[in-house]
Amino acid sequence: MKILVTGGAGYIGSHMVKLLVEKGYDVLTFDNLSNGYEWAVVNRKLIVGDLLNYKLLEEVLLDYKPHAVMHFAAKVSVPESVEKPLLYYENNFCGTLNLLQAMKRSNIKLLIFSSTAAVYGIPKEVPVKEHSPTHPISPYGWSKLFSEQAIKDFSKAEGIKYGILRYFNVAGADPEGKIGQVSKNPTHLILRALKTAKGELPHLEVYGTDYPTPDGTCIRDYIHVMDLCQAHLDVLNYLMNGGESEVFNVGYGRGYSVLEVIEAVKKVTGVDFKVVTAQRRAGDPPEIVADPSKLKQLVGWKPVYDDLHYIIKTAWDWERSCDKLCI
Protein backbone atom coordinates (compact mmCIF):
# COMPACT_ATOMS: atom_id res chain seq x y z
CA MET A 1 0.00 0.00 0.00
CA LYS A 2 1.29 3.44 -0.98
CA ILE A 3 1.18 6.35 1.47
CA LEU A 4 2.12 9.95 0.73
CA VAL A 5 3.28 11.77 3.88
CA THR A 6 3.33 15.56 3.69
CA GLY A 7 5.76 17.06 6.19
CA GLY A 8 7.44 13.67 6.49
CA ALA A 9 10.88 15.20 7.09
CA GLY A 10 9.69 17.06 10.19
CA TYR A 11 9.55 15.91 13.79
CA ILE A 12 6.29 13.99 13.89
CA GLY A 13 6.14 13.20 10.18
CA SER A 14 9.57 11.54 10.17
CA HIS A 15 8.55 9.24 13.03
CA MET A 16 5.41 8.39 11.08
CA VAL A 17 7.46 7.54 8.00
CA LYS A 18 9.71 5.31 10.10
CA LEU A 19 6.76 3.41 11.55
CA LEU A 20 5.09 2.98 8.16
CA VAL A 21 8.30 1.71 6.55
CA GLU A 22 8.80 -0.77 9.40
CA LYS A 23 5.24 -2.02 8.84
CA GLY A 24 5.94 -2.65 5.15
CA TYR A 25 4.22 0.34 3.53
CA ASP A 26 5.53 2.04 0.40
CA VAL A 27 6.04 5.62 1.62
CA LEU A 28 6.85 8.84 -0.23
CA THR A 29 7.56 12.07 1.67
CA PHE A 30 6.63 15.52 0.35
CA ASP A 31 8.34 18.27 2.36
CA ASN A 32 9.75 21.74 1.71
CA LEU A 33 12.45 21.20 4.38
CA SER A 34 11.65 24.52 6.07
CA ASN A 35 11.46 22.70 9.40
CA GLY A 36 12.49 19.23 8.30
CA TYR A 37 15.67 17.38 7.41
CA GLU A 38 16.50 15.04 4.57
CA TRP A 39 18.41 12.68 6.89
CA ALA A 40 15.24 12.21 8.99
CA VAL A 41 13.43 10.45 6.12
CA VAL A 42 14.58 6.91 6.87
CA ASN A 43 13.75 5.38 3.48
CA ARG A 44 15.23 8.38 1.59
CA LYS A 45 12.18 8.64 -0.69
CA LEU A 46 11.68 12.40 -0.61
CA ILE A 47 10.24 15.02 -2.95
CA VAL A 48 11.34 18.50 -1.92
CA GLY A 49 8.33 20.68 -2.59
CA ASP A 50 5.83 23.08 -1.05
CA LEU A 51 2.07 22.54 -0.76
CA LEU A 52 1.62 26.06 -2.14
CA ASN A 53 3.22 24.83 -5.39
CA TYR A 54 0.05 23.25 -6.71
CA LYS A 55 1.47 22.16 -10.06
CA LEU A 56 4.25 20.13 -8.46
CA LEU A 57 1.90 18.68 -5.83
CA GLU A 58 -0.55 17.52 -8.46
CA GLU A 59 2.23 16.02 -10.58
CA VAL A 60 3.53 14.05 -7.59
CA LEU A 61 0.10 12.66 -6.68
CA LEU A 62 -0.73 11.73 -10.28
CA ASP A 63 2.62 10.01 -10.74
CA TYR A 64 2.87 8.23 -7.37
CA LYS A 65 -0.85 7.37 -7.07
CA PRO A 66 -0.94 6.82 -3.30
CA HIS A 67 -3.80 4.93 -1.70
CA ALA A 68 -3.88 7.42 1.18
CA VAL A 69 -2.37 10.73 2.28
CA MET A 70 -1.14 11.55 5.78
CA HIS A 71 -1.00 15.33 6.06
CA PHE A 72 1.49 16.64 8.64
CA ALA A 73 2.92 19.64 6.79
CA ALA A 74 2.23 22.84 8.74
CA LYS A 75 3.73 25.66 10.71
CA VAL A 76 3.05 24.96 14.38
CA SER A 77 4.35 27.74 16.63
CA VAL A 78 1.52 29.43 18.53
CA PRO A 79 3.56 32.56 19.44
CA GLU A 80 4.77 32.95 15.84
CA SER A 81 1.21 32.60 14.55
CA VAL A 82 0.16 35.53 16.73
CA GLU A 83 2.95 37.63 15.25
CA LYS A 84 2.50 36.40 11.65
CA PRO A 85 -1.13 35.31 11.24
CA LEU A 86 -1.28 35.55 7.45
CA LEU A 87 1.73 33.26 7.14
CA TYR A 88 -0.17 30.59 9.09
CA TYR A 89 -3.40 30.98 7.17
CA GLU A 90 -1.56 30.77 3.87
CA ASN A 91 0.74 27.89 4.77
CA ASN A 92 -1.64 25.74 6.83
CA PHE A 93 -5.07 26.49 5.39
CA CYS A 94 -4.27 27.30 1.77
CA GLY A 95 -1.78 24.44 1.68
CA THR A 96 -4.52 22.06 2.81
CA LEU A 97 -6.89 23.40 0.14
CA ASN A 98 -4.25 22.71 -2.51
CA LEU A 99 -3.81 19.19 -1.17
CA LEU A 100 -7.55 18.51 -1.28
CA GLN A 101 -7.76 19.81 -4.85
CA ALA A 102 -4.84 17.62 -5.90
CA MET A 103 -6.44 14.61 -4.18
CA LYS A 104 -9.62 15.23 -6.16
CA ARG A 105 -7.66 15.43 -9.40
CA SER A 106 -5.82 12.21 -8.50
CA ASN A 107 -8.91 10.36 -7.18
CA ILE A 108 -7.41 9.69 -3.73
CA LYS A 109 -10.07 8.79 -1.19
CA LEU A 110 -8.29 8.48 2.19
CA LEU A 111 -6.85 11.34 4.27
CA ILE A 112 -5.37 11.37 7.77
CA PHE A 113 -5.04 14.96 8.99
CA SER A 114 -2.71 16.27 11.68
CA SER A 115 -4.77 18.73 13.72
CA THR A 116 -4.35 20.14 17.22
CA ALA A 117 -5.94 20.64 20.61
CA ALA A 118 -5.45 24.36 19.93
CA VAL A 119 -8.80 24.26 18.11
CA TYR A 120 -10.50 24.10 21.54
CA GLY A 121 -9.03 27.38 22.76
CA ILE A 122 -9.69 27.67 26.49
CA PRO A 123 -11.83 24.58 27.15
CA LYS A 124 -14.85 24.79 29.43
CA GLU A 125 -14.39 21.19 30.53
CA VAL A 126 -11.29 19.13 31.25
CA PRO A 127 -10.56 16.52 30.03
CA VAL A 128 -11.65 17.69 26.58
CA LYS A 129 -13.98 15.60 24.43
CA GLU A 130 -14.24 15.78 20.64
CA HIS A 131 -17.67 17.43 20.84
CA SER A 132 -16.37 20.17 23.14
CA PRO A 133 -16.80 23.71 21.73
CA THR A 134 -14.09 24.82 19.33
CA HIS A 135 -12.99 28.43 19.66
CA PRO A 136 -9.24 28.86 19.06
CA ILE A 137 -7.36 31.72 20.67
CA SER A 138 -4.47 31.77 18.19
CA PRO A 139 -4.18 32.01 14.40
CA TYR A 140 -2.45 28.63 14.49
CA GLY A 141 -5.55 27.06 16.06
CA TRP A 142 -7.86 28.81 13.59
CA SER A 143 -5.74 27.70 10.62
CA LYS A 144 -6.18 24.11 11.72
CA LEU A 145 -9.89 24.46 12.47
CA PHE A 146 -10.50 26.05 9.04
CA SER A 147 -8.61 23.13 7.51
CA GLU A 148 -10.75 20.63 9.43
CA GLN A 149 -13.92 22.25 8.13
CA ALA A 150 -12.62 22.26 4.56
CA ILE A 151 -11.84 18.53 4.86
CA LYS A 152 -15.32 17.78 6.21
CA ASP A 153 -17.02 19.78 3.43
CA PHE A 154 -14.78 18.20 0.80
CA SER A 155 -15.64 14.75 2.17
CA LYS A 156 -19.36 15.39 1.77
CA ALA A 157 -18.91 16.65 -1.78
CA GLU A 158 -16.36 14.12 -3.04
CA GLY A 159 -16.89 11.03 -0.89
CA ILE A 160 -13.44 10.79 0.66
CA LYS A 161 -12.88 9.27 4.08
CA TYR A 162 -10.92 11.19 6.67
CA GLY A 163 -9.47 10.83 10.13
CA ILE A 164 -8.77 14.09 11.92
CA LEU A 165 -6.40 13.68 14.88
CA ARG A 166 -6.27 16.51 17.39
CA TYR A 167 -2.89 16.29 19.12
CA PHE A 168 -2.21 17.49 22.60
CA ASN A 169 1.50 17.96 23.53
CA VAL A 170 3.80 15.68 21.56
CA ALA A 171 7.24 14.88 22.97
CA GLY A 172 9.91 12.20 23.10
CA ALA A 173 11.92 10.54 20.36
CA ASP A 174 12.35 7.24 18.54
CA PRO A 175 13.28 4.71 21.27
CA GLU A 176 15.89 3.25 18.89
CA GLY A 177 17.59 6.64 18.71
CA LYS A 178 17.61 6.89 14.93
CA ILE A 179 15.55 10.09 14.71
CA GLY A 180 14.15 12.72 17.06
CA GLN A 181 13.16 16.35 17.41
CA VAL A 182 15.48 19.01 16.04
CA SER A 183 14.57 22.68 16.16
CA LYS A 184 16.55 25.79 15.27
CA ASN A 185 14.41 27.85 17.62
CA PRO A 186 12.60 25.46 20.00
CA THR A 187 9.37 26.53 21.67
CA HIS A 188 8.27 23.19 23.17
CA LEU A 189 8.81 22.98 26.93
CA ILE A 190 10.53 19.60 27.15
CA LEU A 191 12.96 20.34 24.31
CA ARG A 192 13.83 23.77 25.74
CA ALA A 193 14.33 22.23 29.18
CA LEU A 194 16.64 19.58 27.76
CA LYS A 195 18.66 22.16 25.85
CA THR A 196 18.99 24.13 29.08
CA ALA A 197 20.17 21.01 30.91
CA LYS A 198 22.62 20.44 28.07
CA GLY A 199 24.00 23.96 28.47
CA GLU A 200 22.83 25.29 25.12
CA LEU A 201 20.47 27.76 26.77
CA PRO A 202 21.45 29.90 29.79
CA HIS A 203 18.14 29.36 31.56
CA LEU A 204 14.59 28.11 31.05
CA GLU A 205 11.71 30.56 30.98
CA VAL A 206 8.40 29.72 32.64
CA TYR A 207 5.78 31.75 30.81
CA GLY A 208 3.34 32.77 33.52
CA THR A 209 2.94 31.58 37.11
CA ASP A 210 -0.45 33.14 37.81
CA TYR A 211 -2.74 30.75 35.95
CA PRO A 212 -5.77 29.28 37.79
CA THR A 213 -4.01 25.94 38.35
CA PRO A 214 -2.63 24.33 41.54
CA ASP A 215 0.90 25.70 41.10
CA GLY A 216 0.05 28.65 38.85
CA THR A 217 1.61 27.21 35.69
CA CYS A 218 -0.06 25.76 32.59
CA ILE A 219 -1.12 22.12 32.57
CA ARG A 220 -0.70 19.97 29.47
CA ASP A 221 -1.22 16.38 28.35
CA TYR A 222 2.11 15.01 27.02
CA ILE A 223 2.09 12.09 24.57
CA HIS A 224 5.05 10.15 23.21
CA VAL A 225 5.56 10.68 19.49
CA MET A 226 5.52 6.95 18.68
CA ASP A 227 2.19 6.43 20.44
CA LEU A 228 0.87 9.34 18.37
CA CYS A 229 2.13 7.75 15.15
CA GLN A 230 0.57 4.42 16.09
CA ALA A 231 -2.73 6.26 16.51
CA HIS A 232 -2.46 7.47 12.90
CA LEU A 233 -1.85 3.96 11.66
CA ASP A 234 -4.73 2.61 13.74
CA VAL A 235 -7.09 5.26 12.33
CA LEU A 236 -5.95 4.45 8.78
CA ASN A 237 -6.70 0.76 9.35
CA TYR A 238 -10.04 1.65 10.91
CA LEU A 239 -11.06 3.64 7.82
CA MET A 240 -9.81 0.95 5.43
CA ASN A 241 -11.87 -1.65 7.29
CA GLY A 242 -15.09 0.29 6.78
CA GLY A 243 -15.01 2.80 9.61
CA GLU A 244 -16.67 6.17 9.13
CA SER A 245 -14.84 9.49 9.02
CA GLU A 246 -14.21 10.79 12.53
CA VAL A 247 -12.39 13.34 14.67
CA PHE A 248 -10.17 11.94 17.44
CA ASN A 249 -8.38 13.42 20.42
CA VAL A 250 -4.89 11.95 20.87
CA GLY A 251 -3.45 12.20 24.37
CA TYR A 252 -3.13 10.18 27.54
CA GLY A 253 -5.87 11.88 29.55
CA ARG A 254 -3.45 13.06 32.23
CA GLY A 255 -2.00 16.54 32.68
CA TYR A 256 1.28 17.83 34.09
CA SER A 257 2.08 21.42 35.02
CA VAL A 258 5.09 23.27 33.64
CA LEU A 259 6.80 23.04 37.04
CA GLU A 260 6.11 19.30 37.28
CA VAL A 261 7.66 18.77 33.85
CA ILE A 262 10.72 20.82 34.82
CA GLU A 263 11.23 18.72 37.95
CA ALA A 264 10.91 15.54 35.86
CA VAL A 265 13.50 16.83 33.37
CA LYS A 266 15.90 17.65 36.21
CA LYS A 267 15.44 14.14 37.63
CA VAL A 268 16.00 12.38 34.30
CA THR A 269 19.02 14.49 33.30
CA GLY A 270 20.53 14.90 36.74
CA VAL A 271 21.06 18.60 36.01
CA ASP A 272 19.71 21.35 38.27
CA PHE A 273 19.49 24.07 35.63
CA LYS A 274 18.39 27.68 36.12
CA VAL A 275 14.68 28.54 35.77
CA VAL A 276 13.32 32.08 35.49
CA THR A 277 9.80 33.50 35.41
CA ALA A 278 8.62 35.35 32.30
CA GLN A 279 5.39 36.94 31.12
CA ARG A 280 2.53 34.85 29.80
CA ARG A 281 2.62 34.05 26.09
CA ALA A 282 -0.35 35.02 23.93
CA GLY A 283 -2.48 32.03 22.96
CA ASP A 284 -1.71 29.76 25.93
CA PRO A 285 -4.77 28.26 27.69
CA PRO A 286 -4.35 27.48 31.42
CA GLU A 287 -5.14 23.77 31.16
CA ILE A 288 -5.86 21.36 28.35
CA VAL A 289 -6.00 17.58 28.74
CA ALA A 290 -7.42 15.02 26.31
CA ASP A 291 -10.22 12.55 26.73
CA PRO A 292 -8.89 9.79 24.40
CA SER A 293 -11.67 7.29 25.09
CA LYS A 294 -13.17 7.60 21.60
CA LEU A 295 -9.84 6.68 19.96
CA LYS A 296 -9.38 3.72 22.29
CA GLN A 297 -12.93 2.38 22.02
CA LEU A 298 -13.65 2.96 18.34
CA VAL A 299 -10.23 2.35 16.83
CA GLY A 300 -8.58 0.14 19.46
CA TRP A 301 -5.59 2.39 20.11
CA LYS A 302 -3.40 1.11 22.95
CA PRO A 303 -0.60 3.47 24.01
CA VAL A 304 2.59 1.84 25.27
CA TYR A 305 4.80 4.79 26.29
CA ASP A 306 2.49 6.52 28.79
CA ASP A 307 5.18 7.62 31.25
CA LEU A 308 6.45 11.20 31.50
CA HIS A 309 9.92 10.16 32.64
CA TYR A 310 10.27 7.68 29.78
CA ILE A 311 9.13 10.33 27.29
CA ILE A 312 11.77 12.69 28.63
CA LYS A 313 14.44 9.94 28.67
CA THR A 314 13.98 9.15 24.96
CA ALA A 315 14.14 12.86 24.15
CA TRP A 316 17.26 13.28 26.33
CA ASP A 317 19.00 10.27 24.77
CA TRP A 318 18.33 11.75 21.34
CA GLU A 319 19.37 15.26 22.36
CA ARG A 320 22.75 14.03 23.57
CA SER A 321 23.40 12.02 20.40
CA CYS A 322 21.95 14.22 17.67
CA ASP A 323 24.94 16.56 17.48
CA LYS A 324 26.90 13.83 15.70
CA LEU A 325 23.94 12.24 13.94
CA CYS A 326 22.26 15.37 12.53
CA ILE A 327 24.68 16.06 9.70
Q: What positions carry a catalytic annotation?
A: 140
Question: To 5 degrees, how large is the angle CA 203–CA 254–CA 243?
Answer: 125
3-state secondary structure the chain: CEEEEECCCCHHHHHHHHHHHHCCCEEEEEECCCCCCHHHCCCCCEEECCCCCHHHHHHHHHHHCCCEEEECCCCCCHHHHHHCHHHHHHHHHHHHHHHHHHHHHHCCCEEEEEEEHHHHCCCCCCCECCCCCCCCCCHHHHHHHHHHHHHHHHHHHHCCEEEEEEECEEECCCCCCCCCCCCCCCCCHHHHHHHHHHCCCCCEEEECCCCCCCCCCCEECEEEHHHHHHHHHHHHHHHHCCCCCEEEEECCCCCEEHHHHHHHHHHHHCCCCCEEEECCCCCCCCEECECCHHHHHHHCCCCCCCCHHHHHHHHHHHHHHHHHHCC
The dihedral built from the CA positions of residue 310, 224, 269 and 264, taken in this order, carries a sign that is negative
Beta carbons of 12 and 224 less than 8 angstroms apart:
no
